[in-house]
Each structure stands twice: as structure tokens, then as C-alpha cells.
Chain A
């Protein structure tokens, strides 16, 4: 299909999780958990680079990136939904200075072995930063192509050694109604919370982003740490994360609380499942005039459709 610009064919055989491991992934996690606890080193004390900032040199290119034209940086950093900083699309950039991103700590809790509070620098290092050029599709039916800089979420989550009870991961955004103008009203359930099924979180496409266009994330894009799940509607890609919680039960999410019939837990991009009030068949790619067809799973179907095999995607919207 000419429309598909992704390089799904560039994936190497070795990149694909061995079917045996994939089927027994829960046992695999348990095994790797037990192996690492045997090595007595306190693995939660990672090598710190002092309190130095994250380095954006030597960013690795990724085969998961799309070839499509990038959305202009002015649009990426000036047209945002980040209600904590205001409700208009231009507000997050205008009010960006209200978000304080240094120092930044992330609390890890729940069904895992290495709970605790971590500083951002320790959290991200020693991972190597990758550039992931992903499509981002908003539930409002517009989309962008953004060159994110980040690391696979799975590689970070593994370090906390989630137990076999960890079926879901919940994330929370910073709560600071004193400083963040949008949090003074209960437009959404603050702090903003989102969640993924553990296999969605561990999927190679899912990343923690710390930058875009080769530099640190601007505040309006969810600095200093955000999630990017490219096959789901943009509101699932939670910004400015301060909490990671491994759960047994499916977590509630802010948009689902605000509109249970309109914003589901899964929210996979799906042209066949309309929003109750508007169509999801087409989208406006910011920067282009004509609308274009929306692809199932935002064009990442080859990589992720398998996660939902046998699921009714209309019921689990």
C-alpha cells in the first residue's frame, strides 16, 4: 500500500520477540526478576552522572521511525493540548514558564521490587537516547509527525522488576495547582492520570520521550519526561510524568472519568470506531490542506494489532 511509509520490513528477525518467550512472557519476567535479585548488587543505585543534564549527543536513529514529512517545529511546540497550562491550543506555550522542571523526581510504586523515588537523570541514564519519528493522532482528528528523542519504556520498566501481579502500569502528571493555571479548575481529574496494559507498556514502540527535534522537550510538550504511545489517541501519551505505579487492576484515566462514553481505556486509533460526536475516519495532518484517511492503529497495525487479537475493538474503544 503506497500510503504506508513505515519501515516495518526493516525489522530484523532478531528484533522480533521469540514466540516462546512472548507466550510465556509472565514466566520470563519472573525468571529475570529472580536472576537479578541473586546478583546481590543494589541494582536500584544506578551510576549517577552527578546531577548533570541528560546529554543529547549521539542520538541513535531507529528503524521504527517513519519517512513521512516532519511537522514544522513551530506547530509541534505551539499547537498543544496540555490543559494544566490552559485550554486553548496556544496556552501551553504561552504559559510554559509556569512549569518548573528542575529538579524532577519520579515515584515508582506498586507491584514491583524496586520501588522508590528517582531523579530524572538517574531514571534515564544509562539508556542510550534514540530518535523515534512517530505519527501522533489526536482524538480531535488532527495529527502530526514528531521526531521524538527518548528510550523504550520497556527497557526502563524492566529495571524496576515488575512482579507477575503487574498487569497494568499507571502514570500520573505533576500536580501543582499553585503554579499551573489550568489546574485551578477541575476541568479534568487532577493530577492527570493514564495507564497501559503491561504488554502495551513493554512494546518496543512505546517510549519515554525526553526531547524532540534533537533537543530537550519544551515545557508545553510535557517536559521533562512524557510517554509516547503512537498507535493510540494522543491523550494517552501522558506528559510531565511524576509517578509510575504497577497495578493488578486496570487504572482509571482522566479522560475516561471526564467522558466515559467518549474516551476509553484503550483508545486505539480506529477509523471504524467513531467518537460519539464526530467521525474518526479522517484526520487533518497539521501543515496540509486536504484531510487524509486515518489508518487503523495510526498505521502501526503490523506492530501492534496482535496485542488485541480476539478483542472487540468497538466495545474496548
Chain B
């Protein structure tokens, strides 16, 4: 990824901004202790931010196409890796806090609860994307890199399904994310079809 002059100054700032959700979480813990069901709160919060940052990575291409701000592409990798980071924190809170290492229950959940199957699959699919995020990997894979990283579309769909299937009855929030995802993917689909015609 080409790094511009201003990019070198902006990246550290962006890094801190992307850490803020975690800082806010710690602050909430010290001020009012997460309320009656802290584990549920942590789990939900980290999941929310993982999804938001993941969807942000999908917004780069459409945004660049519209604004011609080609430089901002250099920041997308950081967003992607932070999405993976929050996914890992979310998964850790599930394994350690929610299930307390009860791997029997966890395996049961992964296979029997569709929403967890979806979430877990999204995590697994993110791993190769995180591993191949380095400059060296981009050089090594060349044209195959972009093919591999299209998996992120599928990951985003699985993540939205994971959320939608988890909520009891208030599907407003998952629906908002589904709409945003539909727009971000629809945008790409539109231009893909236009090229083919």
C-alpha cells in the first residue's frame, strides 16, 4: 500500500480512534459496572463494534469512487484488522465469560444454533484475510489477493445474519445494518453488471 506523507501522520490518530470503543468500554466499567448482566453487555458491545468497523471497510471503495479521494485506501487495512480485532475480543468474551471454557457447550452451540454457526463461520473466514493483510502477502498473491479478499462480502453477510438471528424480537438494529450492507454490496453489483453488459 502506498503511504502518502499525510498518511504517516493520520495513521496513528486513526489507530487511537479505532481503539476508542474499547476505551469507552473500560470507562463504562469503572463508572457504572455494566449493570445487571455485564457479560451480556460486553458481548453485545464488542459485537456491535466489530460489525460497524467491518461495514466501514466495505464503504471505502464506493466512497473513493464517488469522492475521488484515492488516498484514503491506505487506511482500509487498519479498519479491516481492527474489525478482526474486535471480532476476536467478542469471541473471547463468548468463550471465556459467557461459556467459561465449556468447549462441549461451545461446540454444541456452533453446530446447533444457526446464529452461532453464522458468527463462527464469519470468524473462521476472517482469519485468512487477516493473515494475508501484509504488504508481503499482497506482493506474493498478486491478482489472487483481490479474489481472496472478496470473501469479506460473505463475512459481512454472515455477520448481519448472526445479529439478526440472535435478537429476540426487535429486529430494527439488524435491519439497519442489513440495509447498509445491501447498499454497499448493491453498489458493487451495479458496476459489475454494467461492466458485463
Query: Count of A-B contacts with CB under 8 A?
Result: 46
Tell which of B36, B100, B112, B169 touches A291, judged by Cβ atoms closer than 8 Å: B100
Chain B residues with Cβ below 8 Å from A291 are 98-100
Is B139 in the interface zone, CB < 8 Å from A? Answer: no
B26 nearest CB across to chain A (Å) = 19
Q: Select the residue from A140, A142, A278 with max chain B CB neighbours within 10 A.
A: A278
Are B169 and A259 in contact, CB atoms less than 8 angstroms apart?
Answer: yes
Q: Bound complex: CA of A284 vs CA of B108, how far in Å?
A: 18
Q: Bound complex: CA of A110 vs CA of B173, how far in Å?
A: 41
**Closest residue of B by beta carbon distance from A77:** B36
With A290-B100, A291-B100 in contact, do A277 and B36 touch (Cβ < 8 Å)?
no
Chain A residues with Cβ below 8 Å from B113 are 277-279
Is A97 in the interface zone, CB < 8 Å from B? Answer: no
Tell which of B37, B166, B170 touches A284, judged by Cβ atoms closer than 8 Å: B37
Chain A residues with Cβ below 8 Å from B112 are 274, 279
Tell which of A87, A188, A282 touches B105, judged by Cβ atoms closer than 8 Å: A282
Q: Select the residue from A258, A277, A286 with max chain B CB neighbours within 10 A.
A: A277
A162 nearest CB across to chain B (Å) = 33
Chain A residues with Cβ below 8 Å from B109 are 279
Contact with B along A272-306 (1 / 0, CB 8 A): 00100111001010110111000000000000000
Are B108 and A74 in contact, CB atoms less than 8 angstroms apart?
Answer: no
Is A90 in the interface zone, CB < 8 Å from B? Answer: yes
Tell which of A78, A188, A284 touches B35, judged by Cβ atoms closer than 8 Å: A78
Are B39 and A284 in contact, CB atoms less than 8 angstroms apart?
Answer: yes
Chain A residues with Cβ below 8 Å from B170 are 87, 187
Are A89 and B169 in contact, CB atoms less than 8 angstroms apart?
Answer: no
Tell which of B36, B100, B105, B169 touches A78, judged by Cβ atoms closer than 8 Å: B36
Contact with A along B107-140 (1 / 0, CB 8 A): 0110011110000000000000000000000000
Is A49 in the interface zone, CB < 8 Å from B? Answer: no
B138 nearest CB across to chain A (Å) = 40
Q: Select the residue from B35, B108, B115 with max chain A CB neighbours within 10 A.
A: B35
Is B165 in the interface zone, CB < 8 Å from A? Answer: yes
With A75-B36, A78-B36 in contact, do A140 and B100 touch (Cβ < 8 Å)?
no
With A282-B105, A290-B100, A291-B100 in contact, do A277 and B35 touch (Cβ < 8 Å)?
no
Is B196 in the interface zone, CB < 8 Å from A? Answer: no
Chain B residues with Cβ below 8 Å from A259 are 169
Contact sample, A vs B, 19 pairs, CB 8 Å cutoff: A78-B35, A78-B36, A79-B35, A89-B37, A140-B168, A187-B169, A187-B170, A188-B169, A259-B169, A277-B114, A277-B165, A277-B166, A279-B108, A284-B37, A286-B37, A289-B39, A290-B100, A291-B98, A291-B99
Residues of chain B whose beta carbon lies under 8 Å from any beta carbon of chain A:
35-37, 39-40, 98-100, 105, 108-109, 112-115, 165-166, 168-170
17 more CB-based (< 8 A) A-B contacts, given A89-B37, A187-B169, A284-B37: A74-B36, A78-B35, A78-B36, A79-B35, A79-B36, A89-B36, A140-B168, A142-B37, A142-B40, A274-B112, A277-B113, A278-B113, A279-B109, A284-B39, A287-B36, A290-B100, A291-B100
